């Protein structure tokens, strides 16, 4: 059976409910006033629109307040002298990162040679390579190592129809090759009469002509390289050229060398 609460308890409960209602109403009113003040302050300071800043290399696209898309302006971002120095510093060091690697068979650089290099120029028509080669001992006492500095020039690159293949019908250049070992010399040893040989047995200067075929790898399937190039070269050296002119009985196969190689374009 329901029994009414005592008058004192009913009065206390009513008092508590009124206080909770008053606090709740005060919080709502305070939140409303705070939002109104923030909105008024934003209107007075002119911050009713959103400013978009998009940085693209050294340029900034900005949209001022109260402006539509027709008022978009572009211009160079302001940089300090220190920032410009840092950019130059990083750019110079980044230029030292090799852009490709190569493996070559024969070519008077060793049976096999491996190296890396850099592409540059408006059309990447210039290449500079550094390579280490390996020469088996054959009839000598031990195997030998070689080092090659190579400069390439590729005047044309022609895409084959709409495929991912391109051809470079002409490549040419020079390279300097040296072999490591005490039995080779730059200056003629004293044990020989002066002018007996008249050339260095340690350093050779080569010239070459060749052709290339390049395959541009699908961006979705690239792993380490962006394209792959197969090439061949026909080369000769300074000593072979002199021998060819002074010995009429020599045939082209005696002073020309054929080599093959693979190039992986990394950057």
Under a CB-based contact definition with an 8 Å cutoff, are residues 104 and 259 in contact?
A: yes
Mean pLDDT computed over 227-248 = 93
Statement to judge: residues 170 and 228 lie in one domain: yes
Question: What pLDDT is stored for residue 3 in this prediction?
Answer: 47
Q: What is the DSSP string of 56-119?
A: ETTEEEE--TT--GGG-EEEEPP--HHHHHHHHHHHHHHTTS--EEEEEE-SSS-SEEEEEEEE
| Window from 90-99, 208-217, 226-235 with minimum mean pLDDT | 90-99
| Statement: residue 84 has pLDDT above 50 | yes
Statement to judge: residues 110 and 28 lie in one domain: no
38 and 127 co-located in one domain: no
Decide if pLDDT at 81 tops 80.
yes
Asked if residue 100 and residue 34 are part of one domain, the reply reads no
Q: Which of 64-78, 208-222, 236-250 has the highest mean pLDDT?
A: 208-222
Q: Is the pLDDT of residue 34 over 60?
A: no
Residue 230: pLDDT above 90? yes
Q: Please indicate, yes or no, whether residues 22 and 110 belong to a single structural domain of this protein.
A: no
Does 264 have pLDDT greater than 90?
Answer: yes
Query: Is the pLDDT at 62 greater than 70, yes or no?
Result: no
**The predicted structure's pLDDT at residue 75:** 62
In a domain, 260, yes or no: yes
Half-sphere exposure of 48 (CA within 13 A, CB side): 8
Instruction: Mark whether 35 and 118 lie in a shared domain.
Output: no
Instruction: Say if 172 falls within a structural domain.
Output: yes
Judgement on whether residues 208 and 154 belong to the same structural domain of the protein: yes
pLDDT of residue 46: 44
**Residue 35: pLDDT band with limits 50, 70, 90:** low
Q: Determine, yes or no, domain membership for 9.
A: yes
Q: Is residue 62 part of a domain?
A: no
Question: What pLDDT, in 10s, does the model give residues 173-206?
Answer: 999 999 998 888 887 777 777 777 778 888 999 9
Q: Read off the pLDDT of each residue in 153-171 and give the average, rounded to a whole number.
A: 94
pLDDT of the residue at 79: 78
pLDDT of 63 reads 57
Does the residue 59 lie in any domain? Answer: no
Distance between CA atoms of residues 179 and 148, nearest Å: 9
Backbone φ/ψ region at 250: left (φ over 0), alpha (ψ -120 to 50), beta: beta
CATH number, residue 106: 2.40.160
**Is 151 found in the same domain as 40?**
no
Tokens of 224: 């380490």
**Per-residue pLDDT, 248:** 86
60, part of any domain: no
Identify whether 70 is part of a domain. no
**According to the model, what pLDDT value does residue 8 have?**
46
- My answer on whether 23 and 102 are in the same domain is no
CB 195 within 8 A of CB 177: no
Q: Is the pLDDT of residue 42 over 70?
A: no
pLDDT band at residue 30 under the 50/70/90 scheme: low
Residue 43 above 80 pLDDT?
A: no
Are residues 135 and 238 part of one domain?
A: yes
pTM of the model: 0.67
Clarify whether residues 5 and 119 are in a common domain. Answer: no
Q: What is the DSSP letter of 219?
A: G
pLDDT over 90 at 45, yes or no:
no
Task: Give the number of domains in the chain.
Answer: 2
> At 166, is the pLDDT very low, low, confident or very high (cuts 50, 70, 90)?
very high
Q: Are residues 15 and 108 in the same domain?
A: no
pLDDT of 187? 78
Mean pLDDT of the chain: 80
- What is the rounded (10 degree) CA torsion for 259, 260, 262, 267? 40
Question: Does some domain include residue 75?
Answer: no
Range of the domain at 128: 93-265
For position 163, what pLDDT does the model report? 92
Give me the pLDDT at residue 76, please: 65
């Amino acid at each position: 059976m329901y029994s009414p609460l005592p008058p004192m308890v009913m009065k206390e409960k009513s008092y508590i409910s009124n206080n909770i209602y008053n606090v709740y109403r005060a919080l709502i009113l305070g939140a409303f006033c705070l939002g109104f003040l923030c909105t008024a302050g934003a209107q007075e300071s002119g911050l009713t629109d959103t400013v978009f800043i998009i940085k693209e290399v050294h340029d900034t696209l900005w949209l001022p307040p109260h402006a539509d898309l027709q008022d978009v302006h572009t211009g160079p971002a302001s940089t300090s002298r220190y920032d410009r120095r840092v950019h130059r510093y990083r750019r110079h060091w980044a230029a030292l990162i090799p852009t490709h690697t190569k493996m070559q068979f024969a070519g008077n650089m060793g049976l096999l040679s491996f190296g890396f290099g850099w592409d540059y120029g408006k059309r990447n028509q210039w290449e500079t390579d550094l390579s280490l080669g390996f020469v088996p001992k054959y009839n000598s006492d031990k195997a030998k190592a070689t080092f090659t500095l190579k400069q390439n020039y590729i005047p044309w690159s022609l895409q084959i129809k709409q495929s991912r293949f391109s051809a470079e019908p002409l490549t040419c250049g020079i390279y300097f090759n040296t072999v490591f070992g005490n039995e080779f010399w730059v200056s003629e040893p004293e044990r020989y009469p002066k002018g007996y040989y008249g050339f260095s047995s340690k350093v050779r200067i080569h010239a070459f002509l060749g052709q290339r075929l390049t395959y541009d790898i699908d961006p979705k399937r690239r792993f380490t390289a962006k394209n792959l190039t197969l090439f061949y070269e026909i080369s000769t050296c300074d000593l072979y050229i002199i021998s060819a002119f002074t010995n009429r009985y020599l045939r082209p196969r005696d002073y020309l060398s054929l080599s093959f190689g693979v190039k992986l374009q990394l950057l």
